[in-house]
Amino acid sequence: MSQPITLTELDIAPSKDMTELFAHYQASAWAMLLDASGAEHSNADFDIMVAQPIATLITRGDHTHIEHPDGHCTSEADPLTLLKDWQQKLLGQQASFGDLPFIGGAVGFWGYDLGRRFEQLPCQSKDDYQTPDMAVGLYSWAVLKDKRAGCWYLIRHESYDAPDPGHLTTLANQTAEQNTPFSLTQPWQSNMTEAEYKKKLNRIHDYLLSGDCYQVNLAQRFTSAYRGDEWQAYLKLRQANQAPFSAFIRLENASIASISPERFLSVHSSGKVQTKPIKGTRPRFTDMAQDLASANELSQAPKDRAENLMIVDLLRNDISKQCQPGSVSVPELFAIESFPAVHHLVSTIEGQLEDNACPLDLLRGAFPGGSITGAPKIRAMEIIDELEPHRRNIYCGSIGYYSLCGRMDTSICIRTLLCEQGKIHCWAGGGIVLDSQPDEEYAETYHKVNKILPVLSGEAGVE
């Protein structure tokens, strides 16, 4: 059953940044920001902030714990089915409000290891995290900024409490109290040496030669200790990277700072589906001629184009499970998208969702994203679990929303950091194929974090 919704335009100047308002909420558990981070990008139209959910769903292994207005419960049912059912029960469904992408509903993350609920996978890698496999809140109010028009909106469901519009305007014009500055207390350290990384790459090469896979993504994890406010770290990373799928999530015992450039799955209220896999990376340079040459070399590189095409084919198959027959197409292949740290090779795959399918069905069928696993996906994930020392948790999972109007948008959690138990983790990886060169692949992992690790390091380096 639908709940009455009101939309209020807020009297906040277009020049104000969403972080200035969210800063007043960021310290509260379950405050979340989906942030285009000032990026001039086709996917950077709206910033969305939420807080004070009416219900939360946390999945660890086979169990999902639900906190809701009438109490709490635990279930072993499919976590995405639970999410769909509880959203329907508490908030119902709504028609779209113009072009607003989110009008209340689910916001949160789906960690890489949630894929174990959808596929049979081994459990060899170490799970040393407190952060769950899924953490999603159901939100009855949200603040959105339409970046193109410069307009701010509060959308709320009248059956639940929401902030006063005037109070939000006041907060946006006030400087939030500063917490303890963020700093690392030791150097970054990888969970594998260069020699170990190359040994694992050789093992993947053997699997490729034997026909197990065509491509396998191999990642290393960097870890440091820290003190201070994780929000301050996010602001530094945001400024340095300007990624269109940035996000900050505050949980009770962890924080996630993501500066991802990659869309996983989007679904428009019309049912149009889009995924934009990234596969292929080159570094940026301050010298314009050198930078252009780097981008041009990537656009023509046979290895990167072949690698990208493998993932395009995988994702065409993944989304076709829930799309209308004959509707899946590739309108853009091997486009170059440039970000402050790197150039990326990006393709676009589109389709039309089946009339009786839910966007969460699409998410389940394609999860985790093929661009960060390899092909074929399940065998690649088995090899990843064998060779990577630790589970990935948030890395290569997804952050995003599922709105009451049927829209969904999710990122791939690359360039994403997890802060918990006084430790901060950051990952970098790449797709390995038969002609991958060990030195180049190892160097590429560092290209991908050269606007992350040094930004937060201060005097600390990388071991």
Look at residue 401 and give its three-state secondary structure.
Answer: strand
Are the beta carbons of 452 and 415 closer than 8 angstroms? yes
Question: How is residue 182 annotated by DSSP?
Answer: P
Phi-psi group of 52: left, alpha or beta (phi > 0 → left; psi -120 to 50 → alpha; rest → beta): left
- Sequence letter at residue 136: V
Q: CA-to-CA distance for 348 and 278, rounded, in angstroms?
A: 9
Please give the backbone phi and psi of residue 147, each rounded to the nearest 5 degrees, phi first: -70, -35
CA distance 198 to 211: 20
> By the 8 A CB rule, do 264 and 411 touch?
yes
Whole-angstrom distance, CA of residue 333 vs CA of residue 150: 32
Q: What is the dihedral of CA 243, 244, 245, 250, to 10 degrees?
A: 70
Backbone angles phi, psi at 326, to 5 degrees: 80, 0
User: Which of 145, 147, 279, 451 is flagged as catalytic?
Assistant: 279
Q: Can you tell me the distance from the alpha carbon of 322 to that of 268, in angstroms, rounded to the nearest whole number?
A: 14
- Beta carbons within 8 Å of 287's beta carbon, 6+ residues apart: none
Rounded CA separation 295/210 (Å)? 33
Catalytic pick from 145, 230, 262, 441? 262
Distance, CA of 48 to CA of 386 (rounded, Å): 38
Contact 130, 421 (CB under 8 A): yes
262 among known catalytic residues = yes
Rounded to an integer, what distance in angstroms lies between the CA atom of residue 348 and that of residue 167? Answer: 41
CB neighbours (10 Å) of residue 3?
A: 17
- C-alpha neighbours within 13 Å on the C-beta side of residue 114: 30
Q: What CA–CA distance (Å, rounded) separates 434 from 329?
A: 27
Give the separation between CA 312 and CA 292, rounded to whole angstroms.
Answer: 25
- Show which residues are catalytic: 262, 279
